Amino acid sequence: MSRDKIRVLVVDDSPFFRSMLVKGLSEARDIEVVGQATDPYDARDSLESLEPDIMTLDIEMPNMNGVEFLKILLPQWNIPVVVISSRGDLADAAKRMGAADFFQKPDRTNKDSVNNFLAELPKRVRGALTKSAKMRAPERGSTNTGAGRARDGVVVALGASTGGTQATAKIIQSLPKDFPGMVVVQHMPPDFTKLYAENLDKECALTVAEARDGEKIEQGKVLIAPGGHRHMTVQKRSDGNFVRLSPGEKYCGHCPSVDKLFLSVAKELPGKNTLGVILTGMGNDGAKGLLAMRNTGSYTLGQDEKTCVVYGMPREAYEMGAVTRQAPLHSIAELLVGYVRNIK
């Protein structure tokens, strides 16, 4: 790791056990407790602000239990979790949800039990971090980053408008060359999208091109919808996923329309193997389609207000309940890579 100490976030609603965990971890020279949280909602905010390396998590907490939180957490944050709970009967459930380890809480009335627990705690944290690092590491001899390995069937759909040319470029430039296939609708005049794609292709590890009708969506490639009078949609076939370019009237005020793309993804490619991203832009194009994607199992991201040039399209999507997670522009590429890596 780039930092000298292992940064730990402790999550437990019990002040007694939080204090015990902090004490046990802080006595290890290579571990630093960077924050404490009392429930999953508090933990979510702390994850964003503190960026810990690993988290300890209780199961029985107010608002949401730890197993439910794991189910929501791990697709969004690529972080190892050690579940620490008195509920030993839920150990298997926690591990099925992705916990790196399960550690039984001690009997607080038994001094030997507490001391043994405190002595073992730092070892469990180090072990979970090492285990997670090995699981994420590329295979020997491979140049694959692991972000897109065996992800040929995964598709990422992205839509943007005003301010989106820079925002979209920033995301694509941050993605590895083995990232899953992407389809992009960026509101631009005719002829500009071809030049935009060509310039991005020179600046990115991914191959970027203006889409052609019937072109296959492939790992390592980004297809930009041509500006003009054709909508871009996706089509699932037995030999893969493809884009279709079809003449049509404006939809939500645009052609191509982000909504048309997202709605086709929800229809043709429902499930966790699709991801939707809505970026800065005026109006509401994309909100309805992103909601359809989320309702059919897709992971969806919306750019936050602070980093948008125009917080229109992302706001509409967020207020409609279409966004799984709202995030600043600089975090979106990392979130996409983390989610793809954890698709099972």
pLDDT of 140 above 50: no
Give start and end residues of each alpha helix (H) in 27-100.
40-50, 66-73, 91-96
| pTM of the shown model | 0.61
Measured from the Cβ of residue 13, the count of other Cβ atoms closer than 10 Å reads 16
Q: Give 40-43 contacts, CB < 8 A, sequence gap 24+.
A: 40/11, 40/64, 40/66, 40/68, 40/69, 40/72, 40/73, 42/11, 43/9, 43/11, 43/69
Residue range 294-306: average pLDDT? Answer: 94
d(C-alpha 218, C-alpha 92), whole Å = 36
For the chain, give every domain's residue range. Answer: 6-136, 155-342
Q: Count of residues for the chain?
A: 344
Least trusted range by pLDDT, from 38-52, 81-95, 100-114, 151-165: 38-52
Q: Average pLDDT, whole number, for the chain?
A: 88
Give the CATH class of 155-342.
alpha beta
d(C-alpha 106, C-alpha 229), whole Å = 66
φ, ψ (nearest 5 deg) of residue 103: -130, 125
Higher local confidence (pLDDT), 144 or 67: 67
Residue range 219-233: average pLDDT? Answer: 95
Domain 6-136 fold: Rossmann fold (3.40.50)
Catalytic site positions: 161, 187, 285
| Of residues 23, 332, 325, 32, the one with CA closest to residue 164 | 332
User: Using 50, 70 and 90 to split pLDDT, how confident is the model at 148?
Assistant: very low
- One-letter amino acid at 48 equals E
Establish whether domains 6-136 and 155-342 are of one fold: yes
